């Protein structure tokens, strides 16, 4: 899948979930490794490669955790990178004395592999789910597919820039 197709798929799945019924959203939040009717419809619609179905299933689950049942527009916001949201907890205007997600927890997320990584990523998403309804869903899809190296950079850019602004305003 090309980068452009990957991004279109991530954005399309988030938009389709937003337009789905509250019941479909609830099923996606509770989804197990078997998927849901919504997932399989989306897998057919976006022609998801069989080798990537499990990762896209995890992605739909995480998007469902971030999308309130009553919300009918996509949570996609290209300017709200996952690492930045983990730093500020969804408040892009916050001045941060400390990050929303601890640096130790971020380090454990980035160091984990396999099922431990999936669990750590879900915990991170659950941390921010009550605070934000906007995130760059393409970045989240990359993280789900195991390409999470940019998370730390975005985290520290957001955290350090907030602290620098505070120091220059004193």
* Residue 100 vs residue 165, higher pLDDT: 100
Residue 164: the pLDDT is 59
Domains and CATH numbers, the chain: 3-169 (1.10.520.40)
Report the pLDDT averaged over residues 28-46. 92
- Sorting pLDDT into bands at 50, 70 and 90, what band is 167? very low
Residue 163: the pLDDT is 59
In the DSSP assignment, the letter for residue 101 is: S
Contacts of 140 (CB under 8 A, 6+ apart): 10, 59, 62, 63, 82, 125
pLDDT in tens, 68-96: 888 889 999 999 999 999 999 988 888 88
- Measured over the CA atoms of residue 64, residue 66, residue 68 and residue 71, the dihedral's sign is negative
Contacts of 75 (CB under 8 A, 6+ apart): 14, 18, 63, 66, 67, 133, 134, 135, 137
Task: Examine the pLDDT at 17 and tell me if it is beyond 70.
Answer: yes
Structural contact between residues 132 and 80, judged by C-beta atoms closer than 8 angstroms: yes
């Amino acid at each position: 899948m090309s980068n452009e197709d990957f991004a279109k798929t991530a954005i399309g799945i988030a938009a389709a979930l937003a337009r789905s019924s509250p019941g479909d959203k609830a099923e996606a939040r509770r989804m197990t490794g078997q998927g849901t009717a919504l997932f399989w419809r989306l897998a057919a619609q976006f022609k998801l490669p069989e080798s990537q179905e499990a990762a896209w299933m995890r992605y739909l689950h995480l998007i469902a955790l971030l999308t309130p049942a009553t919300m009918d527009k996509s949570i996609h916001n290209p300017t709200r990178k996952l690492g930045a949201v983990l730093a500020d907890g969804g408040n892009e205007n916050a001045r941060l004395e400390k990050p929303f997600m601890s640096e130790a927890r971020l380090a454990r997320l980035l160091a984990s592999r396999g099922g431990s990584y999936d669990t750590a990523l879900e915990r991170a998403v659950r941390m921010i789910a009550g605070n934000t309804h906007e995130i760059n869903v393409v970045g989240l899809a990359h993280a789900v597919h195991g390409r999470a190296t940019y998370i730390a950079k975005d985290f520290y850019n957001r955290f350090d820039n907030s602290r620098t602004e505070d120091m220059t305003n004193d």
